[in-house]
């Protein structure tokens, strides 16, 4: 359920601005309406946060993955330690850049050996100007007898290194080498010194691994300070009065009023208007909260005026997951992972419970189709597993003694039934939502409901060859189309004729959406297709491995591991899509919301 919000404005005296913001943070109920430009204080805190993150990243970089250092608290001044480590980080960065430069210079000079630049300069002072070139042996042979210059081969081979005295080679395949200010020996010594210094800096950061949490806590404090400064800059000033606007859940209004009385604020509580864009606070009913981790991972939030579909999402997502993964053996693996997670954490998280649900639904679906690690032999050899199979949807019709085409058609039909049910549910929800509001556009949703049911019958005819009443389908779809055209533009407060003209104006769009409605039902065939692909891959690896046992066991294990990963990716691509696009699209949802994040104190200093 999406919690109803109230728009609240608090008023206070300008000379109490700092304390009022602190009190508002202590109250911890208001989501500030909008944050204006950054204040100087906020920018300073952001700069400090970046410096803290720099030091923390250096500590994390030298920390081994399995490091179990005992956490400690700094006994000295944190700020002094932070400043010193930040300086070291900058030094490390400069040294690393210098090392890259020296490495390139070393590679450049190695071809010429330890040629001392100072000696070349002394010879130049004595009237001997030396030039160095690299060129192919073929090009050099063409010019070596040229009397215009004197040349010495410092190194032969396919790519020769040539030195000339008091003369230059213009073109002719020669690339001049400019001698730097440092010799190869000098460059090497500098690199060795830099390596020693970098090692010392690394050891310093290693010594701070036990204090890692200190930096994390300071970063959290910094983020809280940034938030405080941003809210402070957002407060409007009008003479001697300041005011701040935000949103508070309706159920918390009485608590807010008590807080406002204790802090002597003046306040205004108002209803949400059409032009307002309040945040979304979803209260997940009981067990349904386990779907929240999926929404968090996807990063989607319903708009304040949209539906909370968490219950339906959980139901359909669980079934889609089971059908796409499709194997009871894989479900047992997921169940084992869930149990291990539970044992390690000692308390099952929402994600852990969700994994239990998904694994169990996968086991049930796999048992009903007779699929255990994609093996027909397992089903054939274990009569108990055969008793669990529903012949109409089995993946192994030969074992169950049913016609393979019939079983396949029944499984596809089940997918289309799911599509018709889910899309029809969206229409019913819209109708139930709109009728109490006297919104005539519910008749448009009724039109879509008629179209979905009849187009479902057409899909069955086209895909699996079931008979269908064509006259009824054509007549019904036409009626649904007319209802959508006439009533899609209706809304509370909109004159009927204006709404009618608006709906008729979208005639072509409605036609395209009707075609799209047909394709939406068809798209549920992906549940069948992906499930069958997963089964085919499992069977292929089983057959490959069975050909050269016992080494083939490794092939079977790797194959099933790959198939599991591909199945999980398919759930994201297909299982989530059917909920977020097809179902949500029929509901008219755009997932345009943003989360309710009250301004509150989060770090205990």
End-to-end alpha-carbon separation of the chain, Å? 35
CA distance 588 to 582: 10
pLDDT value of residue 72? 72
Residue whose token pair is 């770090």? 603
User: Are 338 and 394 in a shared domain?
Assistant: yes
Q: Does a structural domain hold residue 342?
A: yes
pLDDT value of residue 69? 64
- Structure-block tokens of residue 344: 């390690």
Q: Does a structural domain hold residue 605?
A: no
CA atoms within a 13 Å half-sphere pointing along the CA-CB vector of 243: 12
Report which of 411, 412, 382 is spatially closest to residue 399, judged by C-alpha positions.
382
Is the dihedral angle over the CA atoms 429, 432, 438, 441 positive or is it negative?
positive
User: Are 172 and 252 in a shared domain?
Assistant: no
Region 387-413: mean pLDDT is 93
- Structure-block tokens of residue 291: 């779907």
pLDDT value of residue 233? 86
DSSP secondary structure code for residue 3 in this structure: P
CA distance 235 to 286: 38
Residue 322 near residue 365 (C-beta atoms within 8 A): yes
Region 478-503: mean pLDDT is 90
Residue 279 near residue 597 (C-beta atoms within 8 A): yes
Residue 503 near residue 445 (C-beta atoms within 8 A): no
DSSP secondary structure code for residue 582 in this structure: I
pLDDT value of residue 499? 86
CA distance 153 to 151: 7
User: Are 232 and 276 in a shared domain?
Assistant: yes
Report which of 324, 389, 371 is spatially closest to residue 533, judged by C-alpha positions.
324
Region 429-439: mean pLDDT is 92
Q: Is 160 exposed, middle or buried (0-12, 13-18, 19+ CB in 10 A)?
A: buried
Q: Is 259 exposed, middle or buried (0-12, 13-18, 19+ CB in 10 A)?
A: buried
pLDDT value of residue 604? 62
Residue 378 structural domain: 284-402+526-590
Q: What is the pLDDT of residues 344-353, one digit of tens each?
A: 888 888 999 9
pLDDT value of residue 204? 93
Identify the domain boundary among 247, 281, 315. 281
pLDDT value of residue 156? 57
Q: How, if at all, do strands 175-177 and 130-136 pair? A: antiparallel
Given a cut of 80, is residue 584 above it in pLDDT?
yes
Q: Does a structural domain hold residue 110?
A: no
Categorize the per-residue pLDDT at 449 as very low, low, confident or very high, splitting at 50, 70 and 90.
very high
User: Are 391 and 475 in a shared domain?
Assistant: no
Cis, bond preceding 521 (omega within 30 deg of 0): no
Given a cut of 70, is residue 603 above it in pLDDT?
no
Q: Does a structural domain hold residue 108?
A: no
pLDDT value of residue 387? 93
pLDDT value of residue 152? 64
Question: Across 204-325, where does the E strand assignment appear?
Answer: 236-238, 241-249, 266-270
Counting other chains too, the contacts that 403-407 makes at CB distance below 8 Å and 24 or more residues apart are none
User: Are 207 and 69 in a shared domain?
Assistant: yes
Region 269-281: mean pLDDT is 92
Region 154-165: mean pLDDT is 68
Number of domains present in the structure of the chain: 4
Q: Which three-class secondary structure state does DSSP give residue 159?
A: strand
Identify the domain boundary among 255, 281, 307. 281
User: Are 260 and 196 in a shared domain?
Assistant: yes
Beta bridge partners of 472: none
Given a cut of 90, is residue 163 above it in pLDDT?
no
Lowest pLDDT segment from 29-38, 371-380, 463-472, 521-530: 29-38
Lowest pLDDT segment from 62-66, 402-406, 436-440, 460-464: 62-66
Categorize the per-residue pLDDT at 144 as very low, low, confident or very high, splitting at 50, 70 and 90.
low
Region 78-99: mean pLDDT is 93
pLDDT value of residue 183? 81
Report which of 205, 182, 260 is spatially closest to residue 69, judged by C-alpha positions.
205
Report which of 220, 224, 303, 245 is spatially closest to residue 31, judged by C-alpha positions.
245
Q: Which three-class secondary structure state does DSSP give residue 595?
A: strand
User: Are 322 and 353 in a shared domain?
Assistant: yes
pLDDT value of residue 234? 85
Q: Does a structural domain hold residue 420?
A: yes
Categorize the per-residue pLDDT at 239 as very low, low, confident or very high, splitting at 50, 70 and 90.
confident
Q: What is the pLDDT of residues 322-334, one digit of tens each?
A: 999 999 999 999 9
pLDDT value of residue 333? 95
For residue 446, give every residue at least 6 positions away whose Cβ sits within 8 Å of its Cβ, in sequence order, or none: 427, 431, 480, 483
User: Are 160 and 216 in a shared domain?
Assistant: no
Q: Compute the 3-state secondary structure of the chain and give helix, strand, coil in percent, each to the nearest 5.
A: 65, 10, 25
pLDDT value of residue 148? 60
For residue 273, give every residue at least 6 positions away whose Cβ sits within 8 Å of its Cβ, in sequence order, or none: 7
Region 557-566: mean pLDDT is 92
Given a cut of 90, is residue 105 above it in pLDDT?
no
Query: Could you give the C-alpha distances from 345 to 225, 291, 338, 349, 351, in angstroms and in order?
Result: 32, 19, 11, 8, 12
pLDDT value of residue 136? 74
Counting other chains too, the contacts that 205-208 makes at CB distance below 8 Å and 24 or more residues apart are 205/58, 205/59, 205/61, 205/62, 205/85, 205/88, 206/62, 206/63, 208/59, 208/81, 208/85
User: Are 195 and 226 in a shared domain?
Assistant: yes
Q: What is the pTM of this model?
A: 0.79
pLDDT value of residue 104? 87
User: Are 20 and 53 in a shared domain?
Assistant: yes
pLDDT value of residue 301? 92
Q: Does a structural domain hold residue 183?
A: no
Q: What is the pLDDT of residues 299-318, one digit of tens each?
A: 899 999 999 999 999 999 99
pLDDT value of residue 150? 62
Region 572-590: mean pLDDT is 89
pLDDT value of residue 250? 94
User: Are 253 and 379 in a shared domain?
Assistant: no
Identify the domain boundary among 501, 522, 543. 522
Q: How, if at all, do strands 31-32 and 266-270 pair? A: unpaired
Residue 177 near residue 134 (C-beta atoms within 8 A): yes
Q: What percentage of the chain reaches a pLDDT higher than 70?
A: 93
- Structure-block tokens of residue 373: 């690690």
H/E element holding 160? strand 159-165
Report which of 134, 55, 66 is spatially closest to residue 90, judged by C-alpha positions.
55
Q: Does a structural domain hold residue 256?
A: yes
**Residue scoring higher pLDDT (35 or 189):** 189
Query: Could you give the C-alpha distances from 414 to 294, 421, 455, 522, in angstroms and in order?
Result: 25, 10, 15, 12
Categorize the per-residue pLDDT at 119 as very low, low, confident or very high, splitting at 50, 70 and 90.
confident
Q: What is the largest CA-CA distance in the chain?
A: 108
User: Are 242 and 131 in a shared domain?
Assistant: no
Categorize the per-residue pLDDT at 135 as very low, low, confident or very high, splitting at 50, 70 and 90.
confident
Task: For the chain, give the mean pLDDT.
Answer: 88
pLDDT value of residue 68? 64
pLDDT value of residue 145? 63
pLDDT value of residue 40? 77
pLDDT value of residue 450? 95
pLDDT value of residue 373? 93
CA distance 183 to 76: 45
Q: Does a structural domain hold residue 72?
A: yes
* Length of the chain measured in residues: 605
Given a cut of 70, is residue 66 above it in pLDDT?
no
Given a cut of 80, is residue 536 above it in pLDDT?
yes
């Amino acid at each position: 359920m999406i919690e109803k919000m109230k728009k609240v404005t608090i008023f206070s005296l300008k000379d109490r601005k700092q304390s009022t913001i602190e009190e508002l943070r202590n109250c911890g109920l208001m989501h500030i309406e909008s944050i204006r430009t950054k204040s100087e204080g906020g920018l300073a805190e952001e700069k400090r946060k970046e410096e803290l993150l720099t030091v923390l990243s250096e500590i994390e970089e030298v920390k081994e993955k399995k490091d179990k250092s005992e956490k400690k608290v700094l006994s000295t001044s944190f700020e002094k330690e932070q400043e010193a480590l930040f300086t070291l980080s900058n030094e490390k960065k400069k040294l690393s850049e210098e090392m890259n430069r020296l490495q390139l210079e070393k590679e450049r000079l190695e071809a010429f050996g330890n040629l001392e630049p100072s000696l070349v300069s002394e010879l130049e002072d004595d009237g001997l100007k030396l030039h160095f070139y690299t060129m192919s042996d073929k090009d050099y042979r063409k010019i070596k007898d040229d009397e215009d210059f004197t040349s010495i081969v410092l190194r032969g081979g396919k790519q020769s290194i040539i030195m000339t005295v008091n003369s230059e080679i213009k073109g002719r395949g020669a690339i001049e080498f400019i001698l730097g200010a440092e010799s190869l020996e000098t460059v090497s010594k500098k690199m060795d010194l830099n390596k020693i210094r970098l090692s010392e800096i690394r050891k310093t950061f290693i010594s701070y691994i036990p204090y890692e949490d200190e930096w994390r806590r300071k970063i959290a404090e910094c983020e809280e300070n940034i938030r405080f400064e941003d809210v402070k800059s957002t407060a409007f000033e009008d003479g001697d009065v300041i005011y701040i606007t935000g949103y508070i859940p309706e159920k918390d209004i009485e608590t807010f009023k008590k807080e406002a009385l204790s802090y002597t604020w003046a306040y205004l509580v108002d209803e949400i208007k059409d032009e307002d864009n309040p945040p979304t606070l979803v209260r997940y009913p009981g067990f349904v909260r386990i779907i929240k981790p999926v929404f968090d991972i996807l990063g989607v939030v319903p708009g304040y005026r949209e539906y909370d579909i968490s219950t339906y999402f959980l139901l359909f997502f669980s079934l889609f997951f089971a059908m796409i993964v499709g194997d009871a053996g894989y479900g047992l693996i997921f169940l084992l992972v869930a149990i291990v997670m539970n044992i390690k954490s000692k308390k099952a998280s929402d994600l852990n419970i969700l994994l239990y649900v998904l694994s169990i639904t996968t086991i049930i679906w796999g048992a009903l189709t007779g699929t255990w690690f994609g093996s027909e032999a397992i089903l054939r050899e274990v009569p108990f597993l055969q008793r669990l199979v529903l012949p109409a949807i089995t993946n192994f019709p030969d074992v169950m003694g049913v016609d393979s085409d019939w079983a396949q058609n029944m499984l596809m039909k089940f997918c289309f039934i799911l599509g018709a049910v889910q899309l029809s549910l969206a229409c019913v929800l819209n109708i139930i939502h709109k009728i109490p509001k006297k919104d005539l556009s519910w008749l448009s949703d009724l039109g879509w409901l008629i179209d979905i049911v009849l187009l479902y019958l057409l899909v069955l005819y086209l895909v699996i060859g079931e008979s269908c009443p064509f006259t009824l389908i054509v007549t019904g779809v036409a009626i649904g189309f007319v209802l959508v055209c006439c009533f899609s533009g209706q809304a509370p407060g909109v004159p009927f004729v204006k709404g009618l003209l608006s709906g008729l104006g979208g005639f072509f769009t409605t036609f395209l959406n009707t075609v799209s409605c047909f394709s939406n039902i068809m798209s549920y065939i992906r549940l069948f297709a992906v499930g069958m692909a997963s089964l085919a891959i499992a069977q292929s690896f089983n057959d490959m491995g069975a050909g050269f046992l016992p080494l083939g066991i490794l092939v079977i294990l790797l194959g099933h591991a790959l198939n599991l990963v591909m199945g999980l990716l398919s759930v994201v691509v297909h299982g989530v899509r059917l909920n977020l696009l097809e179902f949500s699209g029929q509901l008219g949802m755009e997932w345009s919301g943003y989360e309710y994040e009250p301004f509150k104190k989060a770090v205990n200093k």
